[in-house]
């Protein structure tokens, strides 16, 4: 079976490509490398020992995409290409709408043209906005608080309309919670060359000494320790969730939460990371970050029931793997030599 992965060089993409190759799928990657590096794909090839096709293409370029479908017998598509930073989406909404919506429209047109109607789409827990309670099930009302979240919500609706127009489509909407960690090899992970916005990569850079302190955004929330609760899911679990979704595709449109079902606080994560790395992780409590919700974690029963998928890695493994990646690649994929460190507790 030949799978097209859009955004396959990105953080979630390269982990997904690796799992697909290891499971015996043939893979074709398209990525415009706007927020990713080809090195990630070279390392996937190194880790799997399996070749795959790569095209440096923007998914909005329908003609280029059409050529890829002409050249390969694509059976299904995992669509991960898109812009994903919540803050940036507030500053550049038009770029976000253009990128995320037009890429999906072009992709679906080309798929339709080639009679390929199996699609796994990368959605987000951001479609739940501020949930009225936790854990969150797929039946919760959707409401985005950022243009990023809105692009995911609108694309979900577009895909529903597509199915309504043609009931030959098989579509999964994967609502990710907080993807973190790295492949246990330490060779691929979230590229952290710039100062990160997300918690885990930020903590990792503090542990490494590249940043002085973690800023904990608010300790006055209505949660056990006052800091926000999130559902941190290991990127390898998430990648395997894509394979489960692919195998579980059936006629219609189904949404699945991909999370662990556990809510950890910011202070829990800091403590777990300090333990996993053996490094101090100093922090200051600062003001709340705008638009943060107090608690956001999944009820992931539907994926377990329908896709036979469940997250296997816990917070300790997440931190160990994130640390191995960060330590071995202090400047992300720009790092030229890789001193492979064996962690004492690994
Ligand atoms: C959001 C999205 C998630 C997406 C992620 C990365 C929602 C519901 N979730 O997660 O789908 O994968 O962005 O784009 O929209 N924090 C600090 N200090 C820091 C950084 C973060 O205290 O330096 C805290 C935040 O206040 C939050 C938690 O850590 O409580 C996690 O933040 P972050 O990693 O940025 O992800 P989310 O905003 O939860």
Helix (H) or strand (E) holding 248: none
The question of whether 148 is a catalytic residue gets the answer yes
Q: Which residue has the tokens 């979704």?
A: 245
Q: What pairs with residue 172 in β-bridges? A: 120, 254
Cβ contacts of 141 within 8 Å, gap of 6 or more: 128
Q: Tell me: the pLDDT tens digits for 48-71?
A: 999 999 999 999 999 999 999 999
Mean pLDDT within 300-320: 98
* Distance of CA 229 from the midpoint of ligand 1 (Å): 10
pLDDT of residue 146: 92
Q: Tell me: the pLDDT tens digits for 272-292?
A: 999 999 999 999 999 999 878
The domains located in the chain, with CATH, are 2-334 (3.40.50.720)
Confidence of residue 174 (pLDDT cuts 50, 70, 90): very high
**Angle, CA of 180, 56 and 247, to the nearest 5°:** 55
Rounded CA separation 48/28 (Å): 15
Q: Is the pLDDT of residue 339 over 80?
A: no
- Ligand 1 proximity of 217 Cβ (cutoff 6 Å): yes
- Ligand 1 proximity of 197 Cβ (cutoff 6 Å): yes
- Ligand 1 proximity of 215 Cβ (cutoff 6 Å): yes
Among the listed residues 279, 277, 271, 290, the one whose alpha carbon sits nearest the alpha carbon of residue 321: 277
Atom 5 in ligand 1: residue holding the nearest Cα: 178
**Angle, CA of 252, 253 and 254, to the nearest 5°:** 120
Q: What percent of the chain stands above pLDDT 70? A: 96
List, in sequence order, every beta strand (DSSP E) within the chain: 2-6, 26-31, 53-56, 76-79, 118-124, 170-176, 178-180, 214-217, 229-230, 232-234, 252-258, 264-265, 283-286, 295-296
Confidence of residue 340 (pLDDT cuts 50, 70, 90): very low
pLDDT of residue 192: 63
Strand pairing class (229-230; 264-265): antiparallel
Q: What percent of the chain stands above pLDDT 90? A: 92
Q: Is the pLDDT of residue 249 over 80?
A: yes
Confidence of residue 345 (pLDDT cuts 50, 70, 90): very low
pLDDT of residue 309: 98
Atom index in ligand 1 nearest the CA of residue 296 equals: 8
Q: Is the pLDDT of residue 343 over 50?
A: no
Q: Is the pLDDT of residue 243 over 70?
A: yes
Q: How many other CB atoms sit within 10 Å of the CB of residue 339?
A: 9
């Amino acid at each position: 079976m030949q799978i097209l992965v859009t955004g396959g060089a990105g953080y979630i993409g390269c982990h997904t490509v690796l799992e697909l190759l290891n499971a015996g799928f043939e893979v074709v990657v398209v990525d415009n490398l706007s927020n990713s590096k080809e090195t990630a794909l070279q390392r996937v090839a190194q880790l799997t020992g399996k070749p795959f096709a790569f095209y440096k293409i923007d998914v909005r370029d329908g003609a280029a995409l059409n050529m890829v479908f002409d050249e390969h017998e694509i059976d299904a598509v995992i669509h991960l290409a898109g812009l994903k930073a919540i803050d940036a989406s507030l500053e550049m909404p038009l770029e976000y709408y253009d990128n995320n919506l037009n890429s999906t429209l072009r992709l679906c047109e080309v798929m339709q043209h080639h009679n390929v109607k199996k699609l796994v789409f990368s959605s987000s827990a951001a479609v739940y906005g501020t949930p009225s309670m936790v854990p969150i099930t797929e039946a919760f009302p959707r409401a985005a608080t950022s243009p990023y979240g809105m692009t995911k919500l609108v694309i979900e609706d577009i895909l529903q309309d597509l199915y309504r127009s043609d009931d030959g489509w098989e579509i999964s909407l994967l609502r990710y919670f907080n993807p973190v960690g790295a492949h246990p090899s330490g060779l691929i992970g979230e590229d952290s060359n710039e100062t990160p916005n997300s918690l885990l990569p930020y903590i990792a850079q503090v542990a490494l000494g590249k940043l002085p302190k973690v800023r904990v955004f608010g300790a006055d929330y209505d949660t056990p320790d006052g800091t926000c609760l999130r559902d941190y899911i290991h990127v390898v679990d998430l990648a395997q969730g894509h394979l489960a979704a692919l195998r579980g595709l059936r006629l219609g449109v189904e949404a699945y939460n991909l999370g662990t079902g556990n809510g950890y606080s910011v202070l829990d994560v800091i403590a777990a990371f300090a333990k996993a790395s053996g490094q101090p992780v100093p922090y200051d409590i600062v003001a709340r970050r705008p638009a943060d919700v107090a608690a956001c974690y999944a009820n992931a029963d539907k994926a377990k029931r329908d896709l036979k998928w469940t997250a296997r890695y816990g917070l300790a493994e997440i931190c160990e793997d994130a640390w191995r990646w960060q330590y071995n690649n202090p400047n992300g994929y720009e790092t030229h030599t890789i001193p492979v460190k064996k962690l004492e507790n690994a």
